[in-house]
Amino acid sequence: MVVARTCAVNVFVFGEIFYLFNCRSLRHSIFRIGLFSNSWVLGGVSLMVLLQLLFTYLPVMNIAFGSHSIGLREWGLIMSASFVVYVVIELEKWIRRCLSS
């Protein structure tokens, strides 16, 4: 139960990271505008990832938030679920481009 809660929190956070990178343009892919073109976004995401790692692995944070350390299998599932956010937004952008042409 604790591992599932930790995974769920990480899915939300990393889903938001994928969403943030993807929604920097409402029409174009992140690869067209550049993944590393905004240093403020990169700094914020780096800080958020660091805080999530502390939330997940620092014992004091595990006690405070009821979280638990997770393994590579869980991280794979978290990243896969978070990537779905990217795919859905890209699909929406593609539909908008098709409808506006």
Give the number of domains in the chain: 1
What pLDDT score does 39 carry? 87
What's the mean pLDDT when you consider all of the chain? 91
Q: Which residues contact 27 (CB under 8 A, 6 or more apart)?
A: 93, 96, 97
Angle at 64 between CA 59 and CA 73, to 5 degrees: 55
The domain containing residue 59 runs over which residues? 2-100
What pLDDT score does 15 carry? 96
pLDDT at 23 over 90: no
Q: Is residue 90 within 8 Å of residue 29, measured between CB atoms?
A: yes
pLDDT at 31 over 80: no
Q: What is the pLDDT of residues 35-75, one digit of tens each?
A: 777 889 899 999 999 999 999 999 999 999 999 999 999 99
Question: What pTM, to 2 d.p., does this model score?
Answer: 0.85
